[in-house]
């Protein structure tokens, strides 16, 4: 049983890190998307300076999540990939378009009009990918996946296309933009740049709060017990409390024009939100129309789980120091 908890811990951590690091990467594009032409280039320049070296590593977390799912919980993996085929496909297209456009715009040896094309692809796919990540996350807990459906639209479209899904998609994108801006601003030394990105931080934080409200409204509309999941236990309450305090702290930072702590506050706030929404229905990872798929169902192979737990522990011993050293050394020596 211990092995299984290790695996579940890594699954949650990988999701959290993907949201924090990958999400901030998406946020760069989202911040560019929601700024006028004149400032777009400046944002691009500032943010690339801060994010460049870790780009490749940020998106590996998603692969870790997928690998843990299909090795440890193949039932969950195959159910999700069957009934959420379409949103997964769109998300994948987003990942492909974004990843390649990002690389291309930085490694193209010649700078000309092609960069406008890369840019367009980059900013739109930066928005679409987390939006669909939100839709997928919503679909896993909405109870809309119908494994007995025979009709195409019931089985493969209404499984994910819901108001709650769209609201969570918007919320996820807002979170990404907020993370990107608050990570960057703590690094900036130039006062003018700081002021400009500071405004962005404020707008994204407000949009996170507003879209969060929308998520609750849509959940209520679909009769999802989101409120009970979150406020049903001490952990959920505490997480929401901490998230709210972080948001207040962030507003204070903006008001006082002191940005050094804001990246920690933003990251902490997002982790608390993730904790609040995932803890409520743990250990069920997927809620179907017919029952649920639990992480603790005991259907997984004990030997595989044991090996996976060891692989993850060993892997993190190799990887984590590398990631932190990478982030650290480039911040220090810039």
Partner 1 sequence: MDDFIAARSQMALSLGFHIIFSCVGMVMPFFMAIAHYKYLKTGDKIYKGLTKAWSKGIAILFATGAVSGTMLSFELGQLWPKFMEHAGSIFGMPFSLEGTAFFVEAIALGFFLYGWGKLNPWFHWFTGLLVGISGLASGILVLAANAWMNSPAGFDFVNGEYLNVNPVKAMFNDAWFSQALHMIIAAFIATGFAVAGVHAFMILKGKNLVFHTKAFKIAAISASIAALIQPLSGDISAKDVSKRQPEKLAAMEAHFHTERNADFILGGIVNENEHKVDYAIKIPGLLSFLSHGDFNAPVKGILDFPEQDRPPVAIVHYAFQIMIMLGVALMIISILYLLAILKKKSWLSKKWLIKLFVMATPLGYIALEAGWVVTEVGRQPWIIYKIMRTSEAVTPMPGIAYTFYLFTLIFMSLSLIVIFLLYRQIKMVPYLYDETDPKFIHKPTNK
Binding footprint of partner 1 on the chain (CB under 8 A)? 52-57, 59-60, 62-64, 66-68, 70-72, 74-75, 77-82, 85, 88-89, 92-93, 95-96, 99-100, 102-104, 107-110, 152, 155-156, 300-301, 303-304, 307-308, 311-312, 314-315, 318-319, 322-323, 326, 329-330, 333
Classify burial at 209, counting beta carbons within 10 Å of its beta carbon; exposed 0-12, middle 13-18, buried 19 or more.
middle
Helical residues (DSSP H) of the chain, grouped into ranges: 2-17, 23-33, 37-51, 55-58, 60-72, 74-83, 85-107, 114-141, 152-156, 163-185, 191-221, 226-231, 234-256, 262-279, 302-332
Q: What whole-number distance in Å separates Cα of residue 178 and Cα of residue 251? A: 12
Nearer to partner 1, 60 or 214 (CB): 60
Phi, psi of 289 (to 5 degrees): -65, -35
Nearer to partner 1, 41 or 56 (CB): 56
User: Minimum distance between the CB of residue 218 and partner 1, rounded to whole angstroms?
Assistant: 26
Q: Which of 232, 242, 87 is nearest to 168 (CA)?
A: 87
Nearer to partner 1, 98 or 194 (CB): 98
User: Minimum distance between the CB of residue 202 and partner 1, rounded to whole angstroms?
Assistant: 31
Q: What whole-number distance in Å separates Cα of residue 20 and Cα of residue 187? A: 17
User: Minimum distance between the CB of residue 140 and partner 1, rounded to whole angstroms?
Assistant: 14
Nearer to partner 1, 2 or 255 (CB): 2
Nearer to partner 1, 49 or 202 (CB): 49
CA 178 centroid distance within chain: 12
Nearer to partner 1, 96 or 241 (CB): 96
Nearer to partner 1, 101 or 275 (CB): 101
CA 213 centroid distance within chain: 18
User: Minimum distance between the CB of residue 55 and partner 1, rounded to whole angstroms?
Assistant: 8
- The answer for residues whose C-beta is within 8 angstroms of residue 263's C-beta and 6 or more apart is 182, 183, 185, 186
Q: What whole-number distance in Å separates Cα of residue 285 and Cα of residue 254? A: 37
User: Minimum distance between the CB of residue 162 and partner 1, rounded to whole angstroms?
Assistant: 19
Q: Which of 252, 284, 259, 294 is nearest to 186 (CA)?
A: 259
Nearer to partner 1, 214 or 326 (CB): 326
Q: Are strands 292-294 and 284-287 parallel, antiparallel or unpaired?
A: antiparallel
User: Minimum distance between the CB of residue 187 and partner 1, rounded to whole angstroms?
Assistant: 15
The DSSP result for 90-109, as a single string, is HHHHHHHHHHHHHHHHHH-S
User: Minimum distance between the CB of residue 261 and partner 1, rounded to whole angstroms?
Assistant: 26
User: Minimum distance between the CB of residue 73 and partner 1, rounded to whole angstroms?
Assistant: 8
């Amino acid at each position: 049983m211990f092995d299984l908890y290790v695996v579940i811990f890594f699954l949650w951590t990988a999701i959290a890190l993907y949201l924090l690091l990958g999400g901030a990467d998406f946020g760069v594009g989202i911040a560019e998307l929601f700024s006028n032409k004149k400032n777009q280039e400046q944002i691009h320049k500032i943010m690339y300076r801060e994010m460049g070296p870790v780009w490749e590593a940020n998106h590996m977390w998603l692969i870790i999540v997928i690998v843990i799912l299909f090795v440890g919980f193949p039932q969950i993996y195959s159910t999700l990939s069957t009934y959420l085929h379409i949103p997964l496909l769109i998300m994948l297209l987003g990942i492909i378009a974004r990843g390649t456009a990002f690389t291309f715009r930085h490694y193209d040896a010649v700078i000309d009009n092609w960069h406008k094309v890369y840019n367009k692809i980059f900013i739109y796919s930066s928005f679409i990918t987390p939006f669909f990540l939100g839709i997928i996350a919503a679909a896993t807990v909405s109870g809309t996946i119908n494994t007995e459906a025979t009709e195409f639209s019931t089985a493969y479209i209404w499984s994910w296309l819901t108001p709650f899904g769209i609201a969570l998609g918007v919320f996820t994108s807002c979170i990404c933009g907020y993370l990107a801006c608050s990570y960057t601003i703590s690094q900036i030394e130039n006062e003018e740049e700081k002021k400009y990105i500071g405004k962005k931080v404020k707008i994204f934080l407000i949009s996170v709060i507003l879209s969060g409200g929308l998520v609750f409204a849509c959940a209520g509309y679909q009769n999802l017990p989101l409120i009970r999941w979150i406020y049903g236990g001490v952990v959920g309450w505490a997480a929401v409390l901490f998230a709210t305090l972080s948001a207040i702290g962030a507003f204070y930072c903006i008001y006082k024009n002191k940005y050094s702590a804001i990246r920690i506050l933003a990251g902490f706030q997002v982790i608390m939100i993730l904790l609040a929404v995932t803890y409520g229905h743990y250990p069920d990872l997927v809620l179907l129309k017919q029952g649920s798929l639990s992480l603790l169902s005991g259907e997984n192979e004990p030997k595989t789980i044991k090996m996976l737990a060891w692989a993850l522990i060993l892997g993190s011993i190799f990887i984590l120091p590398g990631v932190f050293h990478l982030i650290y050394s480039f911040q220090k020596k810039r």
